[in-house]
Structure formats: structure tokens, C-alpha cells
A and B are shown apart, each in its own frame.
Chain A
């Protein structure tokens, strides 16, 4: 729009502001005689490009696609960083942009010194080296991980400022490759009395959670690879527990110990933190599945509609209970919805991309998305989630979120 504005007549009879031409020639440094305009011969077309690099980085022009983070007082690595959902497309989160939640920073683990101990109610307590684990038959699966506190700001009475990253950026998705936990537990020999397991990390906080043994035997994985490369330090290098669909906190990173037990150990994180305090003063405990949910990533706050016309509304949907069955989108604050297209493949407990075309008239609009999954769960209105759980909770918010579009094409988070 900028060039169009400055291309307005500078004087009568077709005279154009000269600065438009000056700016174009300075930027493109066109050789004499070359045609002006967008289709010039650019400098990178004329000289050999950069050399190889050992580990590639995104274009320097994409520096805005970065995590944002806050740390707990007096710390540098305790807190969370958020994925820039509004600047990504597809469903796989690049490893450098996967959200992080650390309880005492990122440990610098020597893989040769790392051990995984499986003990407790087993017939044969076992110690595994990374080298040993790497020789086991592996499996790959694409799975989202979402922090239980993601979107927690939407419990607040007033709509918080921020966009997809600030409000919903504690969800990411990757292809994880590793050893099914069931195969290791079978080798250790599960005592029939065992109903739960304690998973503990090697970080300084010794992050630990109790997990139902049934989940471990179903689809839990000791993940060694993330999107084809070794799991990143911020995601648990050299190995993490992957519990597809379960709240992020239970997917213990830097996993060093699994203890089979009869009943939950009642760790700090599963009692004082990741529990849902309700209006009557009681709290829901062991809230494992992340519920059916979606969010529009484009357009969303931080992006701008430059002019009326045709746009694609696109976003992400997911459910800890299985596959996404449908996503509906509204441009009138929920008065009417239309079904969006789901990008294949639609995988269970993985992020699913949805898309729908939209012609923006230039007037006000409120954009919403509503997901449902194959089990019949439907993403609820925000007001219902708040009514059920009260405004003072923090975890497992999965209500419908709203972006308001102004007549200037700017977007902001609202309650609608």
C-alpha cells in the first residue's frame, strides 16, 4: 500500500513523485539499461551465493519467526517459551521453535553418562545406556505436545492482549522416534500389582510425575529423535517420555528413572500445580488428556489485512482423545459457522491444519474456530469453560477463541 500511496500524482498531467523511482533504483541497484520494476536482475542472481554450512539456519529475513519467553524471578531458564504459531504453516513445528517449559533450566547432559533406570514393581530392575536403547526396534509417530497451562490467560475476566503466540503458543507438534516403553517394561517384567509408574527427569528440579501404567503399555514412547534429529536439549536430550495426547508436564524430559508403583506418588507437580481448582474449592487431579481445541493462526494479531479481498483463514486443531473430525469457522463471532477443509494427513493426537477461503469486505469481523474430534467431543464456548471451572484456574483451557478484525484490517483478541 505504501508505494501505491506515494505513487499518487505529485503534480498534474501525470507527473509522479520522483522519490518513488529513486527508492526503487537504490534498493535494486539495477545495472544501466535494465528494465525497472519488480522483475529486475537482483544482486543474488549475479554472483555465487554463500558457502555450505554444517548446520543450516533459516533465512536472515525470517528472524521474526522466533520464540518469546519469560522466566521466573531470579532465574534464566525456569519458565516457558512460546511457538510463533502465526508465522508457521503446515503442522510440524521446527525443532528450534518447539515450545519449552522448564522447571529448573535445560541440563547439559553427557549422553555417555546418562542412564535410564527401570525399577520398583518389576521382576528385573534394569539400567539402560543410550547406546543400548538405540539398538531397540524403533517406531515413529507424529504427536502434539501441549502445556497444560496453554491458553490459560483466557480464564481471565478481561481479554488479554496478545495473539496466537502469546496466548496459545505452548503447543507444538513433531515426529518423534524412539522405543515403545511397553517393550522395555516387558523385559523388566511387570509385577501384576503395578498400576502406575513414576517418571523422573535428570534436570536439577528432578521433575517427576505419576502416570497410569495402562498409558505406558498403550502408546508411550522413550523418544530419542525429534523430526529426524536427536531430541533437542530443550525437549529432553538425550531422551524424553512421550505420552501422546497427555498434558505436556507428564511427558517428562531428560528421563532418567521409571519406577513402577501401586498408586500415584503424589509429586509436587501432580498435587500443588497441575490440578484444576474448581469453584467449590475441590480440585481435579490427574487431568491427563488435552481436550479438543483449535485456534486460528492466520490471520491473527500481529498480522494485518492490507486491503479488502480474498484471504485464506488457516489454523490448527488437535485433540488428546484422537483424530480431529471437523473444524468449523465463523467470521461473525459465532452467529454462523462453515466447515473448513482439513489438510491431510489427519493423524490421531497430532496437530491438524484447517483452511477456508474468506473475502474480507473491509468491515468489522470476529473470527472463531470450533473443532470436534472422532470421539464426538466438541470444543466448547469460552463462557462454558469458565462457568464450569471458575475464573481463577489456569490449566486445560480449550474454549473457543476470538480474533476481532477492525475496519483497518488489524486484529486483536476479544471475548465474543
Chain B
């Protein structure tokens, strides 16, 4: 590229920048990587965003009894709030039981939701190890993983939920 071509390219870029600036007030400030890391708590179905740490069903049983059973019942049997265990095979009946085991298509969603929203009165208070342990416990209660299985950023996205293929996209009318 000649000097003249470079100059033209540079002027073109400057003009493009001016045009973009004229489009809007541009009053957002750049977000830093640290800020984004602190706020971005969403976990994709491929496991994107899962933090370091790990847990087992046995560890999760202790956390569940202390922090979850009051609302979700012993062993996740439900009452007064959502039932978390069982219900597999009921989705085609007149009384479907929708639980983590029977309905939720992705195990990563359990991690995402428990970490951001639970326990109800003390959301975002659990350590990542505690969340992994709770997810392992719920998956174990539902027969999805085995006793000794360790849940972490590598193993959790590989868990195949029983109702993984149970969802179809809604087709809007017009």
C-alpha cells in the first residue's frame, strides 16, 4: 500500500468514526474485563462460564439438609416449594410431575439457577464448591449420575439429562 493509499484509508476510517459518533450520544463507558467477569454469572448449556471448583452428592446432601430442605422437603421431595426429584415417565399423563430429573434439559441450568437465586432468602451466598455439590446431589437423587461422580466445569456439561430431547421450538403464527 502506497503512502497515498494509506492516507486515503486513514481518512476513510476517521470519517467512518465520525459518522458512527454522530449516530448516537455514545455515553456508555468501556466495561473492563474484571467488571464483566464479576457480573457475568450465566452458564451456557456447553458449560461456558462454569467456575473452578467441584462437589459430590455426598457433600451436597449436607448442604441441602442445612440450606434447602426447609423449602424443598427432605431429599428434594417438595413442599412447601418446588419438588426437585422424581416424576420421570409422567410427562404424557394428565398429572405430569416436572422436576430437575423429569423435565430440565440441561444440568448446567441447575448450577446457573442455584448459584444466582438460591437459597431464596440468601441468594448468591453459596460457594462454587457448594453449588457443584448441590447439583451433584440433585442429579444423584434423580438417578442421573452415580454416587462417586464429581461435578466440576469439565464433567457437568457432559451430563445428559433424561429429558434432553423433550423440547421443540415454538412456531409463531403470523
Contacts and interface: CB of A to CB of B under 8 A. Distances in A.
Interface of A: 72-75, 78, 103-104, 117-119, 124-128, 132-133, 135-137, 183-184, 186-188, 198, 200, 204-206, 208, 256-257, 259, 261, 263-268, 271-272, 275-277, 279-289, 291, 321, 375-377, 390-392
A125 B31 contact: yes
B39 A285 contact: no
Interface of B: 23-31, 35-36, 39-45, 70-71, 79-81, 91-96, 98, 100, 103-106, 108-109, 112-113, 116-117, 120, 123-124, 166-170, 172-174
B173 A288 contact: no
B31 A119 contact: yes
Contacts of B166: 281-283
B156 to A, nearest CB: 13
A74 B108 CA distance: 27
> Secondary structure at chain A's binding surface: helix, strand, loop or mixed?
loop
B40 A257 contact: yes
Contact of B31 (A104, A117, A272, A276): A117
Contact of B92 (A257, A267, A280): A280
B168 A283 contact: yes
Given A277-B98, A284-B170, A266 B106 contact: yes
A392 B103 CA distance: 14
A78 B91 contact: no
Contact of A284 (B106, B169, B174): B169
Given A281-B92, A291-B173, A392-B95, A73 B81 contact: yes
Contact of B43 (A184, A265, A377): A265
A277 B105 contact: no
B109 A267 contact: yes
A259 B35 CA distance: 13
7 contacts: A186-B23, A204-B123, A256-B39, A266-B108, A275-B167, A280-B92, A285-B170
A72 B120 CA distance: 11
Nearest to B122: A204
Contacts of B98: 272, 277
Nearest to B33: A125
Nearest to A322: B174
A186 B39 CA distance: 22
Contacts of A259: 40, 42
B25 A135 contact: yes
Contacts of B173: 289, 291, 321, 375, 377
> Secondary structure at chain B's binding surface: helix, strand, loop or mixed?
loop
Nearest to B23: A186
A279 to B, nearest CB: 7
A313 to B, nearest CB: 27
Given A72-B81, A73-B80, A206-B117, A283 B167 contact: yes
B123 A271 contact: no
Contact of B116 (A183, A206, A289, A375): A206
Contacts of B81: 72-74
Nearest to B31: A125
A414 B57 CA distance: 49
A146 to B, nearest CB: 15
A272 B168 CA distance: 13
A63 B79 CA distance: 35
B39 A257 contact: yes
B164 to A, nearest CB: 11
A372 to B, nearest CB: 12
B73 to A, nearest CB: 11
A136 B25 contact: yes
Contacts of A390: 94
Given A187-B24, A205-B123, A266 B44 contact: yes
Given A117-B31, A205-B123, A271 B117 contact: no
A104 B112 CA distance: 16
Given A117-B35, A204-B123, A288-B172, A128 B28 contact: yes
Point out which of A78, A135, A198, A205 has the most chain B C-beta atoms below 10 A from its C-beta.
A205
B95 A74 contact: no
A126 B30 contact: yes
A266 B105 contact: yes
Contacts of A126: 28-31
A391 B42 contact: no
A391 B120 CA distance: 30
A119 B93 CA distance: 43
Given A73-B81, A119-B31, A285-B169, 10 more contacts: A117-B35, A117-B39, A204-B117, A265-B112, A267-B112, A271-B167, A272-B100, A285-B170, A375-B174, A390-B94
B42 A104 contact: no
A286 B124 CA distance: 27
